A and B are shown apart, each in its own frame.
Chain A
């Protein structure tokens, strides 16, 4: 069943889009991530133009993260203070990111930049997670009780703030800068940045694991919303029809996925996610070096 997407100006099979949304939703439910880093490359693969794929993924992400955050909110797993500080950084980051995206669009480097950014970022995060989770899987029995978090140079930073929900007393600059960085990534790559945010919240900020997904999702709602509005305004690249179809498949997939995920161990989940992330990174890196079908590319101005 072909559906004409008004902004992308292409016809795509609605069933394929639903299945794609559901598959990505399932994985995001299993692993507790937004799944944007899988969705954007897959959309590009089935023929959605790069800029539309990035901006519409951000639009879809608004709905997907509301859906996820509501569930965590009901369990009380959202640290509002932390989310607000990250959000202030995130909004600044998304403004810079959308501006950067428009610049790349005019220079004709947006396709390259998106692929390169994905390959590098996913490669790094995937490798780190794989090392960490395989260590955890091997030493599950012999784990020694760890201190809540290590003290290092980051705890000497000014503007210390108390985050009661997360039981932390750290500099507000840390979540602010983290939020900013993820905001830029979010705008340029069309992802929520959960795959960067979640490890950073655990390892850099030292937040308790139970608070991480809810807080991350809660602030992603607002960053994704800002990115969507800015992309629509600056670059005219948000396809609402595409986003809604993906969302319908996505939320159903996510609910099924989170049920399946509850049956797995945390270390197995992280190892599985690491392998998935690395596979996407390797594929993208490989594609960058393959001689393209046409050395010339054509686009309307």
Chain B
């Protein structure tokens, strides 16, 4: 597998260097895989992103998973017991987010550009789903807790130095996906930055999908919930009955 990816990568790199990058295309990038298949034995995987630029510059890669709503709850100690007392729902939270660059972000682009392109965990636009009575500082605390939790789970990443250059023009980065990676369509945005301005950008989709019997079960459980419940009962009951047969006394 590793060898296959490596040789594919090498071939692609050769192809992209052999053809000089056209002037109207300062940036070209691609992925070693456009599909991540989650099967029964899935324990996480990585995808190699590689590409070429038309000259020196900095490369920033932003990976975003499908958006979803997330609830953050805050616990307080009441009568000696920890109880969730307040909660806040954020809308449009990326289920996966990673920013990779070849140098620290602040050296590459000004903060205004970072905010515009939502580059960096601090610049993610995550808003409460409904108007909240909480003070802005409290909302910020909830937001930070959310980001920290996702970082801890390995689905939010920020790494200056993950993009490595081979010479001036060829670059590559490995994007890691843990076993709990959410499914859906991801977008990988590659930005070429020169003199603190974004010169060129390219967006490549990546599909993360459950494949095989697990996917079928998951799909079935969501689409036909009632039938799934009945099947689950019948299968378990049959398994339980079958298990008694070897132990039956004549």
A-side residues, CB < 8 A to B, are 1-7, 9-11, 59-60, 62-67, 70-71, 74, 108-109, 112, 116, 221, 225, 228-233, 236, 238, 240-241, 243-244, 247-248, 251-252, 255, 288-292, 294-301
Given contacts A244-B235, A301-B71, contact A67 B240 (CB under 8 A): yes
| B229 to chain A: closest residue by CB | A232
Contact among B150, B235, B239 for A298, CB-based, below 8 A: B150
9 nearest CB pairs, A to B: A232-B229, A63-B240, A296-B145, A66-B240, A251-B243, A229-B229, A63-B236, A301-B69, A67-B240
| Contact residue among B41, B141, B229, B241 (Cβ-Cβ distance under 8 Å from A228) | B229
Chain B 221-250 near chain A by CB (<8 Å), digits 1 or 0: 110011011111101111111011001100
- With a CB–CB cut-off of 8 A, which chain B residues contact A299? 70-71, 73
- B-chain residues with CB within 8 Å of residue A10 when the two chains form the complex: 179-180
Which chain B positions have C-beta within 8 A of A228?
A: 229, 232-233, 236
Residues on B with C-beta less than 8 A from A74 are 248
Q: Cβ of B240 and Cβ of A296 under 8 Å apart? A: no
| B229 adjacent to A238 (CB under 8 Å) | yes
**B240 → A minimal CB distance (Å):** 3
Q: Is the CB of A289 within 8 A of B80?
A: yes
B232 touches A296 (CB 8 A): no
Tell me if A232 and B87 are in contact (CB < 8 A): no
B119 at the A interface (CB under 8 A): no
Contact at B237–A225, with CB atoms within 8 Å? yes
Q: Tell me which residues across on chain B come within 8 A of A296, comparing CB atoms.
A: 72-75, 141-142, 145-146, 148-149
Taking a contact as CB atoms under 8 Å apart, the answer to whether A288 and B74 are in contact is no
Query: Can you show 5 pairs from A to B with CB atoms below 8 A apart?
Result: A6-B217, A67-B244, A70-B244, A232-B226, A301-B70
Q: How far is the CB of A186 from chain B (nearest CB, A)?
A: 14
Interface residues of B (CB under 8 A from A): 38-43, 68-77, 80-84, 87, 89, 129, 141-142, 145-146, 148-150, 179-180, 210, 214-215, 217-218, 221-222, 225-226, 228-233, 235-241, 243-244, 247-248
Residues of A within 8 A of B39 (CB): 4
Known contacts A229-B226, A229-B230, A244-B235; A297/B73 CB under 8 A: yes
Beta-carbon contact of B240 and A295 below 8 Å = no
Set of chain A residues within 8 Å of B232, measured between Cβ atoms: 59, 62, 228-229, 232, 238, 240, 243
Residues of A within 8 A of B43 (CB): 2, 11
Q: How far is the CA of A240 from the CA of B225 in the complex (A)?
A: 12
Q: Are A291 and B240 in contact (CB under 8 A)?
A: no
Question: How many angstroms between the C-alpha atoms of A59 and B82 in the bound complex?
Answer: 30
Distance of A288 Cα from B211 Cα, bound (Å): 39
Q: How far is the CA of A108 from the CA of B73 in the complex (A)?
A: 7
Residues in A with CB closer than 8 Å to B148 are: 294, 296
Contact A4 B41 (CB under 8 A): yes
A6 with B73, Cβ < 8 A, contacts A11-B42, A229-B230, A233-B229 known: no
**Complex contacts, A232 vs chain B, CB 8 Å:** 221, 225-226, 228-229, 232
Tell me, in angstroms, the Cα distance from A248 to B240 when the chains sit together. 8
Given contacts A4-B41, A291-B82, contact A241 B214 (CB under 8 A): yes
Shortest Cβ distance from residue B129 to the other chain A in the assembled complex, whole angstroms: 8
Contact call B236/A244, Cβ cutoff below 8 A: yes
Q: How far is the CB of B28 from chain A (nearest CB, A)?
A: 35
Docked CA distance A4–B43 (Å)? 8
Residue of chain A at shortest CB distance from B84: A108
Knowing A228-B229, A230-B229, A298-B72, the reply to whether A236 touches B214 (Cβ < 8 A) is no
Q: Are B84 and A3 in contact (CB under 8 A)?
A: no
| Contact present for B75 and A297 (CB under 8 Å) | yes
**A255 shortest CB reach to chain B, Å:** 5
Bound complex: CA A64 to CA B236 (Å): 8
Tell me if B87 and A59 are in contact (CB < 8 A): no
Q: How far is the CA of A299 from the CA of B72 in the complex (A)?
A: 7
User: Which chain A residues border B145 with CB–CB below 8 Å?
Assistant: 294-296, 298
A sample of 19 more A-B contacts (CB under 8 A), given A67-B243, A229-B230, A297-B73, is A7-B218, A7-B221, A11-B179, A59-B236, A62-B232, A66-B241, A67-B241, A71-B247, A108-B84, A116-B81, A225-B237, A244-B239, A255-B247, A288-B81, A291-B77, A295-B74, A298-B70, A298-B145, A300-B71
Q: Which residues of B contact A60 (CB under 8 A)?
A: 236
Interface contact A3-B70, CB-CB below 8 Å? no
Which residues on A sit within 8 Å (CB–CB) of B40?
3-4
Partner of A240, one of B71, B72, B180, B235: B235
